Copies of this chain bind each other. A is one copy, B any other.
Amino acid sequence: MRDNTRQRILEAGAELIHRKGLNNTGINEVLQAAGVPKGSCCFDDEETFCVEIVDYFSRRFGEMARPIIEDKSLSPLKRLRKIFMVFHNHFKSHGYASSCPIGNLGQEMGDLKGSFRDKLAEYLNQQTDVVETLLSEAQHAADIEPDLDPRETAIFIIGAWHGAINRMKVIKNPEPLEIFYKLVFEAVLR
């Protein structure tokens, strides 16, 4: 019962934070959207809630990415592109008006608190691990040059992606994503 309430609050909070940003989302609004009475909030404080929200997005990212990573019918680079396309289609369905909730959370905070910063770093590393795994596979298949460092290149690509979706959100237009695919798959990954 308690776990169910917790889950409903996380789902409602994730949806609201994704749409409006953390600082524009009040806890009462989250409880109302979750259909949970005031006073039933089962998080110790805002930091705990934020950390669990990142965990929630992180689990969803993992569930989305895993079957694509494991789909050996596609080349590693095709799988990598497909993962970005899943997000791209998600942004498209929201009119390109909202971007990565985790990136937003990191930006909203001034100087970030310890446990929350650790959690954001963990999520960025999770995304980076996925890209690194696929780049290593692509290197073994000789699809990209042997002198590219998969870890560094993955960090760069994840950064370029976050920058591209930020600009996409500002201009409400997918052009930065199209440029991202072109430069990553034609210039960086040779």
Contacts and interface: CB of A to CB of B under 8 A. Distances in A.
A16 to B, nearest CB: 9
Interface in A10-53: 19-21, 23-24
Interface string A142-181: 0000001000110110111111101101111001100110
Contacts of A159: 160, 162-164, 166-167, 176, 179-180
A121 B171 contact: yes
Contacts of A103: 107, 166
A107 B99 contact: yes
Contacts of A188: 183, 187-188
A63 interface: no
A166 B121 contact: no
A106 B58 CA distance: 23
A132 B35 CA distance: 51
A108 interface: yes
Integer count of this chain's copies in the complex: 2
Contacts of A164: 156, 159, 163
Contacts of A179: 152, 155-156, 159
A21 B108 contact: yes
Interface residues of A, number: 48
A85 interface: no
A64 interface: no
Contacts of A180: 156, 159
A26 to B, nearest CB: 12
A166 B102 CA distance: 11
17 contacts: A19-B110, A21-B23, A23-B24, A103-B166, A106-B166, A107-B107, A117-B170, A121-B170, A152-B179, A159-B163, A159-B164, A159-B176, A160-B160, A160-B163, A162-B162, A187-B187, A188-B188
